[in-house]
Amino acid sequence: MNKNCKVLIPMMMDIHFDLIEGVLKNEGYDVEVLKTDHKGIIEEGLKSVHNDMCYPALLVIGQFIDALKSGKYDTNNVALLLTQTGGGCRASNYIHLLRRALEINNFHQVKVWSLNFEGLDKKNEFSLSFSGYFNLFYSILYGDLLMSIYHQSVAYEKNSGDSKKTLTYWKDKLISEIGKKIFKKLKDNYKKIIESFSAIPKNSDRKKIRVGIVGEIYMKYSPLGNNHLTDYLEKEGAEAVNTGLLDFLLFNLYDTIFDRKIYGRVGIKYFFIKYLVKYIEKKQKEMIEVMKQYKSFIAPSPFSHVLKMTKGYLGHGVKMGEGWLLTAEMLEFIQMGIKNIVCAQPFGCLPNHIIAKGMIRKIKDNHPEANIVAVDYDPGASSVNQENRIRLMLENARMMANQG
């Protein structure tokens, strides 16, 4: 990998990706996470990608092409970085669609790098040092913590902007500590972060409607993809609740473990993944245990608990798209008392339409109190219609709260 060229990354999660950008810069890469957000991105995506492809592909590729056409970057010295999960979802083919889009727009010289753990594109794989992978993992842990407590804090803050200022402070502080010993002192930093958010004056006398967000990973997290869903929910007076990125990482790693149970596949990779999963789950539980020490915030459930939620619904062999995790997250929210759920998905995302919409009826049969709305996102979808569906869900939630 040529560390002298500019590396562009599409935005998905602002908190996590700011930290990840810091990790990659610490590795010596000149990295920039693209934060552009305008209609031109969709138009570029539609010009460069077949409109039958899923919406995240249009947005990610459109954001890249829009950046290259902006004139801000030397196209002879720039690389585009994409992740590949290696699953059955079309997302693993985005990288090939991106290369085709570059040809269509006469950017043949632009390099495309892949970040994956499946050996999908060995000639163009993005690599980090051993410590770099650890820092990447730590940044996801910190990102999950910050995302969870920030949204719990911003919903109740007395002085608008206090939570945002605290979030910015901690993001900048953690980024400045990457590569230093203090960055690895996870528990100490967790406590300091939680205490600083706990100190923010809050209106704790009134409880807001909590709304869980599930769905296809890009649509679930990306403001560009879901029309700033989290901001909209908070503007409407609700508290938005999202699950951590670490859960999705563990979901993908568990594929290898379940493949052995179902198909009998055994190899060196299986034993490595099994050890890695134990380590990641241990670190996640450490973070959750620290959160539980503070009554001001509600801690998420460990992934080991989420795993058990699909019993009686579907098996762990259902892994296309977000697979069994999507159903597990909805059931986990309901168990936590979060009965109001938005399922954000790209129109035409077959795995998630089957697993999400296909399971909502069964979930509602077993949990009549569940207030779930599926919202489709695509280039032709009206944001007004999307917001109306969400607003109707919120009205139902308020009615149920008043009756209860």
Query: What angle is formed at CA 22 by the lines to CA 18 and CA 23, rounded to 5 degrees?
Result: 120
Q: What is the pLDDT of residue 92?
A: 63
Q: Tell me if 358 sits within 8 A of 321, measured CB to CB.
A: no
Q: What is the pLDDT of residue 380?
A: 83
Range 99-124 burial, b when 16+ CB lie within 10 A, else e? bebbeebebeebbbbbbbbeeebeeb
CB atoms within 10 A of CB 235: 9
Q: Tell me if 118 sits within 8 A of 89, measured CB to CB.
A: no
Q: Find the DSSP H helices in 211-357.
A: 217-221, 229-235, 245-263, 268-292, 303-306, 323-335, 350-352
Structure token digits, residue 276: 């890695």
Q: Tell me if 373 sits within 8 A of 343, measured CB to CB.
A: yes
Side-chain-side CA neighbours of residue 392 (13 Å): 10
Q: What is the pLDDT of residue 90?
A: 64
d(CA 63, CA 73): 13
Q: What is the pLDDT of residue 148?
A: 98
CB atoms within 10 A of CB 252: 17
Q: What is the pLDDT of residue 357?
A: 75
Structure token digits, residue 226: 């879901």
Q: What is the pLDDT of residue 115?
A: 77
Q: Which domains does the chain have, with CATH numbers?
A: 6-128 (3.40.50), 208-403 (3.40.50.11900)
Q: What is the pLDDT of residue 341?
A: 97
Structure token digits, residue 140: 């996801």
Residues 6+ apart with CB under 8 A from 226: 219, 220, 344, 375, 377
Question: What is the distance, to the nearest Å, from the Cα of residue 313 to the centroid of all Cα atoms in its chain?
Answer: 24
Q: What is the pLDDT of residue 331?
A: 96
Residue type at position 369: E
Phi/psi at 245 (5° precision): -65, -30
- Which residue from 35, 6, 210 is spatially nearest to 111, judged by alpha carbons? 6
Query: What angle is formed at CA 314 by the lines to CA 309 and CA 319, rounded to 5 degrees?
Result: 95
Structure token digits, residue 236: 């409407």
Q: What is the pLDDT of residue 356?
A: 72
CA torsion sign, 271 to 120 to 354 to 301? positive
Q: What is the pLDDT of residue 318?
A: 87
Partners of residue 332 on adjacent β-strands: none
pLDDT per residue, tens digit, the chain (404 aa), is 567 789 999 999 999 999 999 999 999 999 999 999 999 999 999 999 987 788 998 999 999 999 999 999 999 999 999 886 655 666 667 888 899 999 999 999 999 988 766 555 555 567 789 999 999 999 999 999 999 999 999 999 999 999 999 999 999 999 999 999 989 999 999 999 999 999 999 987 778 999 999 999 999 999 999 999 999 999 999 999 999 999 999 998 998 899 888 888 767 888 999 999 999 999 999 999 999 999 999 999 999 999 999 999 999 988 887 889 999 999 999 999 999 999 998 877 766 777 777 889 999 999 999 999 999 998 888 889 999 999 999 999 998 888 76
Q: What is the pLDDT of residue 401?
A: 81
Q: Tell me if 216 sits within 8 A of 345, measured CB to CB.
A: yes
Terminal CA-to-CA distance of the chain, rounded, Å?
59
d(CA 262, CA 266): 11
Burial (CB count <10 Å: 0-12, 13-18, 19+), residue 383: exposed
- Which residue from 116, 110, 100, 135 is spatially nearest to 24, judged by alpha carbons? 135
Q: What is the pLDDT of residue 43?
A: 95
CA torsion sign, 331 to 150 to 217 to 382? positive
Reported as a single tens digit per residue, the pLDDT across 154-195 is: 999 999 999 999 999 999 999 999 999 989 999 999 999 999
